[in-house]
Amino acid sequence: MIGWLRWECLCFRIGWTQQHDGGQNVQNPVVEKLREFYEVHRQDLFTYALSLTGCRYAAEDAIQNAFCNLLRRGKAPEDLRPYVFRCVRNAAVDLLRSTQREAATDSIFEILNGQSAPIPLPVQHEIEHLMQQLSEEERETILLKVYSGMTFKEIATVRGVSINTAASWYRRGIQKLQDSIQEDP
Amino acid sequence: MKNVEDMLREMSLKTPSREFEASMERAFRDAAARPASWRDHPVRLWNCVLACGLCALIAFALGLATVLPYALSSHRESIVYLIPHQGPAERNVFDAVPNAPLKPRESKPWTVWRGEARVEPATDSAS
């Protein structure tokens, strides 16, 4: 018993976690989990943060702040996706509040011109314009659903609303876009 | 006419900058290399408090379970013999003379009280 306690104290002092393996210092599982999540979802997170802040640099700052807080906290829930997106959202709101400025209006879309563009240039501009016309809730819900592939339950968790509310935001936003595009083909 | 969702998916999105990628990579590396804090240790302070409390509770319950049958039984006088040198006769001696040396227990075996009558253990002379 005393021997085990001394061994535990020694491991603790030199900074090993419980999963020490043959004397090798293994990676923190929470850090690894967050890193893997970031590798997979970095584009989705950036798009979401950019839609919230409207500024590339503020979006990057928000993501970095959110992940620094998560890493410092050292805990990660099982269902990581809505949790991290919500953290990024909170960080973006905090950033805008601390700098006391309104969200800028940078678009999330990279307008492509030429042969590589999958959609004609005027249509791209139109979609970009229409997305800016949507309300903040509708725009966010569409981004999370279309680009991040989230379920309405996850979107509801991110936004802190009911599932029905998230679904109605999405349907209303898509309907508005559809109607505007059909009006002006 | 294409579905608006398909059109949105075909739109190209802005990507994070290389500097940002590098800074995120650095943040993850620093976090992985950071030594464990005492807060990260699996044995928390409240675990120790809980264990001590539980042990104290068990000890109290065991003590109570030992003493209570004597205290509640009809032979309440017997309980004084559970405490050495604190019988009714000896207590007066200790009260009268402070710091008196402990009086050894009488050589005769346990005296058993049965109700009002005191039953002396059988001795060779009596038999």
Q: How far apart are CA B96 and CA B46, in angstroms?
A: 48
List chain B residues with CB under 8 Å of A171: none
Number of domains into which chain B is organized: 2
Where along chain A do its domains lie? Answer: 27-106, 118-185
Count of positions (residues) in chain A: 185
Chain B CB contacts of A12 under 8 Å are 36, 38, 41
Chain B hits for A68, Cβ within 8 Å: 27
Cβ proximity of A93 and A59 under 8 Å? no
Q: What is the pLDDT of residue A73?
A: 83
- CB-based contact, A172 to chain B, within 8 Å: no
Residues of B in contact with A110 (CB under 8 A): 12-15
Across residues A123-139, what is the average pLDDT? 88
B97 and B65: one domain?
A: no
B82 and B66 in one domain? no
Q: Which domain holds residue B54?
A: 23-72
| DSSP states of chain A | -HHHHHHHHHHHHTT--TT-BTTB-PPPHHHHHHHHHHHHHHHHHHHHHHHHHSSHHHHHHHHHHHHHHHHHHT---SSHHHHHHHHHHHHHHHHHHHHT-------SB----STT-SS-HHHHHHHHHHHHHS-HHHHHHHHHHHTS---HHHHHHHHTS-HHHHHHHHHHHHHHHHHHHHH--
Report domain A118-185's class: mainly alpha
Structure tokens at A89: 């959202």
To which residue do tokens 């739109």 refer?
B11
Contact B11, A109 (CB under 8 A): yes
* Separation between Cα atoms, residue A54 and residue A48, nearest integer Å: 10
| pLDDT given for residue A141 in this prediction | 94
Q: Using only C-alpha atoms, what is the Rg of chain B? A: 38
- Asked whether the ipTM of the predicted complex exceeds the cut of 0.85, the reply is no
pLDDT digits (tens, 9 = 90+) for B81-109: 555 555 455 454 445 555 555 555 554 45
- How buried is residue A34: exposed, middle or buried, by Cβ count under 10 Å (0-12/13-18/19+)? buried
Which residues are paired to B114 by β-bridges? B117
CB-CB neighbours of A105 under 10 Å:
8
Single-letter amino acid code for the residue at B32: A
CB interface of A with B, residues 99-118, below 8 Å? 106-112, 117-118
| Residue in the block written with tokens 């802005």 | B14
Asked whether residue B92 falls in the same domain as residue B64, the answer is no
Of A12, A109, A181, the CB nearest to B11: A109
Q: How far apart are CA B126 and CA B66, in angstroms?
A: 34
Cross-chain residue pair B36–A12, CB shorter than 8 Å:
yes
Asked whether residue B45 falls in the same domain as residue B57, the answer is: yes
Which of B14, B15, B34, B39 should we substitute to test contact with A (largest number of A Cβ atoms within 10 Å)?
Answer: B14
Say yes or no for a CB contact (<8 Å) between B27 and A12.
Answer: no
Chain A residues whose CB is inside 8 A of the B21 CB are 42
Residue to test with chain B: of A31, A32, A61, A139, most B Cβ within 10 A: A31
Q: CB–CB of B7 and A123 under 8 A?
A: yes
Q: Is B4 domain-assigned?
A: no
Whether residues B27 and B68 fall in one domain: yes
Residue B32 lies in a domain: yes
The residue of chain B nearest to residue A5, with distances taken between CA atoms, is B43
Would strands B112-114 and B117-119 be described as parallel, antiparallel, or unpaired? antiparallel
Q: What is the pLDDT of residue B116?
A: 47
- With an 8 Å Cβ cutoff, are A109 and B28 in contact? no
Question: Rounded distance, CA B80 to CA A56, Å?
Answer: 84
pTM here? 0.63
What pLDDT digit, counting tens, does each position of B8-52 carry?
888 888 999 999 999 999 999 988 887 766 666 667 788 899 999
For residues A159 and A166, what is the distance between their CA atoms, to the nearest angstrom? 8
Average pLDDT over residues A142-157: 93
